[in-house]
Structure 1
């Protein structure tokens, strides 16, 4: 992996994944995405129970705080630590982040890979073009994003900050296509 994260490429992969989905709500439940048979989600405790794997191998020295991905043949298993989650929104973010590692073909967990996985999760759960469309109609706050997209306050605040820092925005053809999929929902929203 290069030292410089390719966040725009990673976000584009999230847009491509969303384009393959049926959009019926602004909330993207990662576990319900159409991913084919190649990705499974499970809690680390359940995985250890059914496979006989040692929980210690995942938790030693803080190796598994939120989630991790293991590859078994051509399939991926995203494991999450269900002990640390008090919020389904936080769990959904972790699953989106791990899916970002998969879609980007990451083999390492360096800072660049983490930035790319976060960019993927951010775009998957709160698509930029959708937020910009909403913001063009009226001012939106992080609380609006939190409510509309079912993300944590921290994730919503980070997304608002990231979009404010970005000076220029030119939607890609895929992003415009994605906006068309969301428009029936967006036209009904009153903030």
Structure 2
């Protein structure tokens, strides 16, 4: 049976991440968060190729279909990402990979991808910070693409636990 995405869990975890790290300003920087994770190593594709002693072109040929990917080995994670391209898209992609780690995904299931997208959307575009704003304003403030901003404004799947959202609202009221 195909597992359905648990959007509430993903959204709640995103808000808990904001609270735990006391993130009160936009934009949220998922690369900085990933680098602070005790069980996670982050490499650019170039750094990963050097570490593996292979040519960067060969690394791209083997792994380059995705903008980023995460490898899990026991409790350790390695996140590799492609530098360059659209920086706002990379920001979302890295938040998506962080979602896979924090949600403890172990397979490449459709539900896992949906949950990681939900996590990334709520982490980068927290509801209290984007309510009442237009897509261009959200894209600029949250450092996401216009498509991600539209999704954040129009399709709030997984609002998460009401109490958690209210705590995030209080954090952002102090700063915004």
- Corresponding residue for 1:144? 137
Greater than 3 Å deviation, 4+ residue runs: 53-60
Which TM-score applies when normalising by structure 1? 0.79
Which TM-score applies when normalising by structure 2? 0.85
CA distance in 2 between counterparts of 1:175 and 1:2 reads: 29
Deviation sequence 1:18-59 (CA, Å, 0-9, x none): 111133421101122274311222112211202325764664
CA distance in 2 between counterparts of 1:17 and 1:59 reads: 34
CA distance in 2 between counterparts of 1:29 and 1:125 reads: 8
CA distance in 1 between counterparts of 2:8 and 2:55 reads: 38
Higher RCO (CA 8 Å, separation ≥ 6 residues): 2
- Corresponding residue for 1:189? none
User: In structure 2, do the counterparts of structure 1 residues 171 and 70 end up closer, same or farther at CA, with 3 Å as the change threshold?
Assistant: closer
1:179 maps onto 2:172 in alignment: no
Any conservation in 1 of the 2:43–2:79 contact (CA below 8 Å)? yes
Structure 1 residue 110, shift from structure 2 partner: 1.9
Structure 1 residue 11, shift from structure 2 partner: 1.0
Structure 1: tracts of 5 or more residues without a match: 187-191
Any conservation in 2 of the 1:64–1:81 contact (CA below 8 Å)? no
Aligned positions, number: 174
1:159 maps onto 2:152 in alignment: yes
- Corresponding residue for 2:10? 10
Rg comparison, structure with higher value: 1
Structure 2: tracts of 5 or more residues without a match: none
